[in-house]
Amino acid sequence: MKVGVLGIQGAVSEHVEMSRKAMQEMHIDGEVLIVKKLEQLEKIDALIIPGGESTTISSMLKRTGMFTAVIEKAKKGMGIMGTCAGSILLAKEVEGREVETLGLMDIAVSRNAYGRQIDSFECDVEIKDFDTPFHAVFIRAPVITRAWGEASVLATLKEQILMVKQNKFLALTFHPELSADTRIHKMFLNMTGSQQFS
């Protein structure tokens, strides 16, 4: 199993480390690659889109030729996890500043919903099917304002949607890679694998 972490912006190395740790704990024979070029994208089974600035990530995907390729691979079964700005890229609708998204998930997202960097925060979040809360880190986080169709809400905070699953896609408004908890990365690996790992 090969998991790619999009290497344009955000906590790329942290996602790589968390994915490797999750694979080790789940006894998965695989590797984690940083993806910056189209030819690297073609080698992976699943993709993580980290945080950053959604318009920059979108334009860089286009410049490298990966924008259309990601959509095509997703339609053929590649799993994608988008965290923070990554969740914006997965959405079909974005409220606020214009950004061209991959449009793969039945969600609407509001950018920078919690305000500026100074308004970043941490809190424990209840996630569906998790026995204990997940300590979530929010950095200039967006909010998923609406989910419909095949999208399933996995976590909320004060009625605001934080985490959504749809087929092999996972959108989160927080940063699981900045926690010591590998459960979300494990969930993603199980979603994208052809078998259920333990």
Domain CATH code at residue 87:
3.40.50.880
The residue whose two tokens read 């590649």 is 78
Q: What is the pLDDT of residue 198?
A: 40
Active-site option among 53, 84, 95, 122:
84
Q: What is the pLDDT of residue 87?
A: 96
- What average pLDDT does the chain have? 91
Strands (E), 7-159: 31-35, 46-49, 79-83, 91-95, 105-110, 121-125, 134-138, 143-147, 152-157
In eight-state DSSP terms, residue 118 is: G
| 41 inside domain | yes
123 an active-site residue? no
Q: Measured between alpha carbons, how far is residue 92 from residues 27, 42, 104, 113, 171 in Å?
A: 35, 24, 6, 17, 12
Percentage of the chain with pLDDT > 70?
A: 92
Active-site option among 25, 135, 175, 185:
175
C-alpha to C-alpha distance for 160 and 109, rounded to whole angstroms: 11
Q: What is the pLDDT of residue 119?
A: 62
C-alpha to C-alpha distance for 142 and 83, rounded to whole angstroms: 10
Determine contact, residues 190/196, Cβ cutoff 8 Å: yes
| 14 inside domain | yes
Entry pTM: 0.93
| 197 inside domain | no
Confidence of residue 177 (pLDDT cuts 50, 70, 90): very high
Q: What is the pLDDT of residue 195?
A: 47
Determine contact, residues 86/141, Cβ cutoff 8 Å: no
What sign for the dihedral angle of Cα 35, 37, 40, 44? Answer: positive
| 94 inside domain | yes
Rg (CA), the chain: 15
Which domain covers residue 147, as residue numbers?
2-192
C-alpha to C-alpha distance for 105 and 51, rounded to whole angstroms: 17
Query: Is 57's pLDDT higher than 80?
Result: yes
Query: Is 105's pLDDT higher than 90?
Result: yes
| 198 inside domain | no
Q: Which residue has the higher pLDDT, 98 or 17?
A: 17
175 an active-site residue? yes
If one counts the domains in the chain, the total is 1
pLDDT digits (tens, 9 = 90+) for 109-166: 997 555 554 468 899 999 999 999 999 999 888 899 999 999 999 999 988 899 999 9
Q: What is the pLDDT of residue 114?
A: 54
Count of H-run helices and E-run strands, the chain: 6, 12
Contacts for 2 with CB less than 8 Å, ≥ 6 apart: 30, 31, 32, 33, 43, 44, 45, 46
Bridge partners of residue 153, in order along the sequence: 164
Q: What is the pLDDT of residue 4?
A: 97
Angle value at C-alpha 148, between 144 and 150, nearest 5 degrees: 115
| 50 inside domain | yes
| 69 inside domain | yes
Q: What is the pLDDT of residue 197?
A: 44
Query: Is 68's pLDDT higher than 60?
Result: yes
Confidence of residue 10 (pLDDT cuts 50, 70, 90): confident
Confidence of residue 11 (pLDDT cuts 50, 70, 90): confident
Query: Is 95's pLDDT higher than 70?
Result: yes
